[in-house]
């Protein structure tokens, strides 16, 4: 009985510590988002073979948005990438440019209010990569929190 009580107490302490760390990350503006990029998610659709993944880190405290793209296949070199405001299946305006030209990874400055908006409702935004063959977008994916 005593072992069970100690185990439950340790689990409760671990849960409290995890929640405290999550609260600190939120308060300091940290946030990790991902998106599965697919050509068929674009409007208009791009080739189904265009595939990749975006990992986005939001840093509200410093006004930075960092990204790391893993591209499995794309039919042409990327020339731009953005976070757009929009629901699945609809084109939306550029909300946060991810640099001035396409880079596989990097960080860019953005207004803190925009970073907070993305962090508060990631599913209302999508990431895409553009190229010369697909100026509207070669691959795209809705943002979601976590891995």
* pLDDT digits 0-9 by tens, 110-119: 999 999 999 9
Contact 51, 69 (CB under 8 A): no
Work out the number of other CB atoms within 10 angstroms of the CB of residue 76: 13
Residue 123 has pLDDT above 60, yes or no: yes
Q: What is the pLDDT of residue 5?
A: 43
- The 10s digit of each residue's pLDDT in 65-102 is 999 999 999 999 999 999 999 999 999 999 999 999 99
Please count the helices (runs of H) and the strands (runs of E) in the chain.
2, 9
pTM here is 0.79
Q: What is the pLDDT of residue 146?
A: 80
- Give the residue-averaged pLDDT of 112-137: 97
The ranges assigned to domains in the chain are: 30-145
CATH topology of domain 30-145: Immunoglobulin-like (2.60.40)
Q: What is the pLDDT of residue 3?
A: 54
Burial state string for 45-74 with b = 16 or more CB within 10 A and e = fewer than 16 = ebbeebbbbbbbebbbeeebbbbebebeeb
- The 10s digit of each residue's pLDDT in 29-69 is 459 999 999 999 999 999 999 999 999 999 999 999 999 99
Q: What is the pLDDT of residue 30?
A: 58
Q: What is the pLDDT of residue 128?
A: 97
- Give the residue-averaged pLDDT of 6-12: 41
Residue 26 has pLDDT above 70, yes or no: no
């Amino acid at each position: 009985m005593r072992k069970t009580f100690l185990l439950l107490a340790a689990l409760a302490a671990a849960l409290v510590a995890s929640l405290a760390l999550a609260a600190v990350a939120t308060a300091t503006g940290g946030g990790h988002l991902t998106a599965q990029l697919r050509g068929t998610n674009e409007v208009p659709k791009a080739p189904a073979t265009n595939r990749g993944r975006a990992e986005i880190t939001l840093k509200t405290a410093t006004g930075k948005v960092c990204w790391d793209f893993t591209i499995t296949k794309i039919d042409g070199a990327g020339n731009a990438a953005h976070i757009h405001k929009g629901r699945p299946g609809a084109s939306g305006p550029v909300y946060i440019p991810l640099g001035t030209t396409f880079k596989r990874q990097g960080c860019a400055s953005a207004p803190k209010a925009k970073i907070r908006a993305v962090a508060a409702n990631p599913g209302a935004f999508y990431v895409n990569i553009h190229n010369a063959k697909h100026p509207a977008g070669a691959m795209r994916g809705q943002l979601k929190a976590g891995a």
